[in-house]
A and B are shown apart, each in its own frame.
Chain A
Amino acid sequence: MPSRISPLHISAYTATSAVGVGKEAHADALAHSRSGLRANDFGDAPLPTWIGRVDGLEDVRLPESAASWDCRNNRLAWLGLQADGFLEAVAAARKKYGATRIALVLGTSTASIGETELAYTQLDADGNFPPDQRRAAVHTPHSLAMFVQQVLGIDGPSETISTACSSSAKVFASAERLIRLGLADAAVVGGADTLCGSVLFGFNSLELVSTEPCRPFDAARKGISLGEAAGFALVERVQPGAPATPLLLGYGEASDAHHMSTPHPEGLGAERALDDALARAGLAADAIDYINMHGTASQKNDEVEGALVARRFPAHTHASSTKGFMGHTLGAAGIVEAVVCLLAIERGLMPGTVNTRTLDEGFGPQLKLEPATGEVRYALSNSFGFGGNNCALVFGKAVNA
């Protein structure tokens, strides 16, 4: 078991998804169980499914100095960075610590592959990209992080974590280690993933996409709804006298060692991630007030994760999946659902599970369809990805210094 870690302050955070831009839009949608899913209208020949699409990305313009990074994913990141005073918070941290002392760890599953897909529809007579698509750095997994590093003006260690749907959860772990070793004083973490042909037709090829809005943990669930989102958080060491913002308390990372696209049948990798996260936080499972589950509405994920929560948590724990609000945002799911947990802690708001009508009988009393209010001292977020890549995060309420 890993040792307990020192908590880190989450001094700023934000999310943008199909339910809207920023914390207020998310808190409002979560409080009123308002889904942001719509019938698929993405692309020329949309599959019959539902998606969590962010409005207005077509009209977003990047800052002139960063215009060469233009693509849907970086537009979404830029829209997201401007919400909730996040740019200002990073600027203040830069002033306080210096640009090379702020690390950048971002998660993404597909980065700007949507732009590469577009370039393949624009090839010239020789089969090459047209001149305006010959932006080498855009067509790579690190595109998002290079763009964000430039617009934030930070120069610390920078990396992209790309472990499919756990990507932007694992960013908290990498950032915590950098700060603990003194290689950075603060870190910007987060991620972005946008809708694109690769994921819509890819998940469709695996027969995992639902023809109706996804219904996590429903006895009659029919698969996932894909979405797009961006989210960011600024993490720093806890300092006396700093504002009482929520804390990163623990994380766990583990592998299923089972199958590329199907979870371990007994959830052993997920449970190992959970145990490591609780150990780093120094908490027992019954301390957790709210669990944001991975809850994709795929048959297998929900079966395995539902059983894990049922066997490890007391009946009073409030657990829900928010995939019905914004869809499965893949590499961005970790950060967006971390933001849901931080909102739960700051506002005492535990979301329900929208679209779901009848819970599968095999699941425990922890799973809630309706939102609830109450004190959330500790919140857990689960993120699981292809390749059997699991991450669990534990956040906690600030202790007033």
Chain B
Amino acid sequence: MNTPPTLYIEGPAFWTPTLPGWDAASAAFRGEGTLADPPAKRPSPQVLAPAERRRAPDTVALALEVAAAAIAGADRNAADVPCVFTSAHGDLSINDYMCSTLAGDPKMLSPTKFHNSVHNAAVGYWTIGTGCMAASNAVSAYGHSFAAGLLEAAVQCAADQTPVLLVGYDAPTVGALASVTDSRGLLAVALVIAPERTARTVASLDWSLVGDGAATGPHSAAAATLKDINPMADALPLFEALAQAPGSADAPIDLPLSAALALRLRLQAAG
């Protein structure tokens, strides 16, 4: 198979109630930090106006928090950066509201909840909040949603030679949806993938599709506490590696895209 060009990772960002931010998460992944106790409730992204911040669905607050942190870490202007948001489930609490209301009194459906129910609500609020008119995308691939979103972002970066913001998020299930969905908590990750090395490069990224990849699991005790939190847990090995100053001798990270195909990542720390 063809080998696509080397790309560069900037601005890793992370948020979950027990590790609310990349500083806390990266320290914990190196075995240097502890989990937040009590855990944080939900992020409060400054990209939204105060009133909007309060009204925003959890998924929107979560996704925008890590998106803004990644853009700040990459020292880029959000308005210029195409963005790919990925989520296995979207906002399950809004789905639960929609389905409950439709089963009860459908004419009572809230118009705001309805327009917030689209899978691209989070990326829509991001582009509105940052004035970003570049391409924006909302991706889903069930149990492989993080890998599929990372592939979409890397492909767009490599094909168009543009930095791309990748955001992955999922939120806990609620109500009757718990019968079919075991998403347990808030977890979101983000990073910027760039076509060229910059002062903000954290690691280079060599990537390819392989037919024989088995999922790489988390290593650290801190990451292991999150392995079943929601489908974005697939991102843990990548973010553990980014916390560790990865080297070329490290084993590759394999992220399954399906039973037959995986995305293989090799990282090398910047200088």
Contact = CB atoms under 8 A, between A and B. Distances in A.
Interface of A: 2, 45, 99-100, 109, 113, 116-117, 119-121, 123, 127-129, 133-137, 139-143, 145-146, 149, 155-164, 170, 173-174, 177-178, 180-183, 197-198, 201-207, 253-261, 268-269, 272, 385-389
Contact of A160 (B82, B116, B140): B140
B118 A387 contact: yes
Contact of B140 (A119, A128, A159, A170): A159
Contacts of B179: 119, 128-129, 133-134
Contacts of A387: 118, 120-121, 123-125, 127, 136, 138
A134 B179 CA distance: 7
23 contacts: A113-B99, A129-B176, A134-B179, A140-B89, A141-B90, A142-B141, A157-B148, A159-B149, A162-B90, A162-B120, A174-B152, A182-B1, A197-B102, A198-B117, A202-B109, A204-B109, A206-B111, A257-B131, A257-B132, A260-B116, A386-B121, A387-B136, A388-B128
Contacts of A157: 148, 151, 209, 257, 261
A261 B118 CA distance: 10
A201 B134 CA distance: 31
A136 B111 contact: no
A253 B180 CA distance: 34
Given A136-B181, A255-B135, A268-B133, A180 B152 contact: no
B117 A141 contact: no
A197 B104 CA distance: 12
A135 B258 CA distance: 18
B118 A117 contact: no
Given A198-B114, A387-B118, A117 B102 contact: yes
A170 B137 contact: yes
A268 B159 CA distance: 24
Contact of A255 (B118, B136, B156, B257): B136
B124 A260 contact: yes
A146 to B, nearest CB: 6
Contacts of B142: 137, 140-143, 146
Contact of A109 (B110, B118, B151, B175): B118
B107 interface: yes
Given A121-B103, A142-B140, A182-B2, A385 B180 contact: no
Contacts of A141: 88-90, 119, 140, 142
A121 B101 CA distance: 10
B138 A158 contact: no
Nearest to B5: A181
A180 B139 contact: no
B27 interface: no
A181 B4 contact: yes
Contacts of A136: 180-181
Given A109-B118, A197-B102, A201-B106, A128 B176 contact: yes
Contacts of B152: 159, 174
A164 to B, nearest CB: 5
A119 B181 CA distance: 14
A139 B102 contact: no
Nearest to B148: A159
A134 B182 CA distance: 12
A311 to B, nearest CB: 18
A115 B114 CA distance: 17
Contacts of B100: 120
B115 A261 contact: yes
Interface centre among B95, B120, B258 (most CB of A within 10 A): B120
A170 to B, nearest CB: 7
B27 to A, nearest CB: 33
Contact of B138 (A155, A162, A272): A162
A251 to B, nearest CB: 10
Given A162-B119, A387-B124, A388-B124, 17 more contacts: A100-B261, A139-B177, A140-B181, A141-B88, A157-B209, A159-B148, A177-B156, A198-B102, A202-B114, A205-B114, A254-B133, A257-B133, A268-B133, A272-B133, A386-B118, A386-B120, A387-B123
